[in-house]
Amino acid sequence: MVKESVQIYDLEGKSVRRVRLPGVFHSSVRSDLIKRAVLSVQSGRYQPQGRDPAAGERTTAASLGVGHGVSRVPRVKGRGSSSSGKGALAGMTVGGRTAHPPRAEKRIVKSINMKERRRAIRSAVAATADEQLVASRGHLIEGVLNFPLVVVDEIQGLEKSSEVKKVFLQLGLWGDVERVKSGIKVRAGRGKTRGRRLKGGRGPLVVIGEDRGIVRAARNIPGVSVALVRNLNAEQLAPGTHLGRLTLWSESAFKGLSSLHGEEV
């Protein structure tokens, strides 16, 4: 049975009051929609790449045709020498341009209907309240006080990483941060020299209604992300298309879910 209200905790992990559970948490979990929505967000970061449309075409070379006793390969005007790889036969000769190269104008962004995207976000929000889904995603949830986990708005005003760590310890979230820290690896391949030397997992997501310092305070903690509730997307709630991210809600963000994503199931 789905609960109708949830506890709100202060920064020391003590229960202060209860608040009504927004209807978005009653939404059915649709992993297929979540995957489509995440891939749509990711495709927006793809970098178009392609060849110069005029590659191999900037030449006077052309075939002489029949009746000259020579092969019908393109020949540079004025010289008569062969110019393999240029002109009309460029795509079928050794050393020529690519026959059917990638084109920069190719449509690479994967679109998704607005209603499907909103349904996916509601579904991903509902998945964050399922303890089994969060655990199956790999998060360490031992000691986490509640699902969904809601704290007072004072968390939005934290300005130091040490303060964030202290709150996470009180709420039972620091164990998952330690999991991420222990899993940081050196990337294989050329990415090491291109600003992507290290790679690691995703830890807790902090959803807030207003940033009063928490974004700067938490940005140096491995695996931790901070997002405004009005900017939530499916990838933040289900990184890598895997739903059930360990999520901490501020009270204002939690109450704002009703008006932002609707009460429909």
Q: Which two tokens stand for residue 128?
A: 């964050």
Q: Within this chain, do residues 52 and 147 fall inside the same structural domain, yes or no?
A: no
The stretch 10-29 carries a mean pLDDT of 94
Q: Within this chain, do residues 98 and 194 fall inside the same structural domain, yes or no?
A: no
* 221, burial (CB in 10 Å: exposed 0-12, middle 13-18, buried 19+): buried
What is the per-residue pLDDT for 83? 60
Distance between CA 185 and CA 164 in Å, rounded? Answer: 24
Q: Within this chain, do residues 31 and 133 fall inside the same structural domain, yes or no?
A: yes
Distance between CA 245 and CA 227 in Å, rounded? Answer: 13
What is the per-residue pLDDT for 265? 36
> Of residues 83 and 182, which shows the higher confidence score?
182
Q: Within this chain, do residues 60 and 28 fall inside the same structural domain, yes or no?
A: no
- Triad 205, 206, 207: Cα angle to 5°: 115
Q: Within this chain, do residues 98 and 119 fall inside the same structural domain, yes or no?
A: no
What is the per-residue pLDDT for 93? 59
Confidence band, pLDDT 50/70/90 cuts, at residue 31: very high
pLDDT tens sequence across 119-162: 999 999 999 999 999 999 999 999 999 999 999 999 999 999 99
Q: Within this chain, do residues 96 and 212 fall inside the same structural domain, yes or no?
A: no
Distance between CA 252 and CA 121 in Å, rounded? Answer: 18
Q: Within this chain, do residues 11 and 94 fall inside the same structural domain, yes or no?
A: no
Q: Which domain holds residue 97?
A: 47-107
What is the per-residue pLDDT for 86? 54
Domain boundary among 88, 107, 126: 107
Answer whether residue 53 shows pLDDT above 90. no
What is the per-residue pLDDT for 217? 96
Answer whether residue 85 shows pLDDT above 60. no
- Triad 239, 201, 171: Cα angle to 5°: 90
Q: Within this chain, do residues 151 and 198 fall inside the same structural domain, yes or no?
A: yes
pLDDT tens sequence across 109-122: 999 999 999 999 99
Q: Within this chain, do residues 150 and 194 fall inside the same structural domain, yes or no?
A: yes
Domain boundary among 72, 107, 142: 107
CA 196, distance to chain mean position in Å, is 16
Confidence band, pLDDT 50/70/90 cuts, at residue 214: very high
CA 169, distance to chain mean position in Å, is 27
What is the per-residue pLDDT for 264? 45
Answer whether residue 263 shows pLDDT above 70. no
Q: Within this chain, do residues 163 and 238 fall inside the same structural domain, yes or no?
A: yes
The stretch 157-170 carries a mean pLDDT of 96
Output the average pLDDT for the chain: 89
SS3 228: strand
CATH number, domain containing residue 167: 3.40.1370.10
Q: Within this chain, do residues 116 and 102 fall inside the same structural domain, yes or no?
A: no
Distance between CA 181 and CA 174 in Å, rounded? Answer: 11
Domain boundary among 107, 133, 149: 107
| Helix H or strand E segment including 207 | strand 205-208
Q: Within this chain, do residues 66 and 96 fall inside the same structural domain, yes or no?
A: yes
Q: Which of 210, 220, 212 is nearest to 157 (CA)?
A: 212
Q: What's the structural domain count of the chain?
A: 2
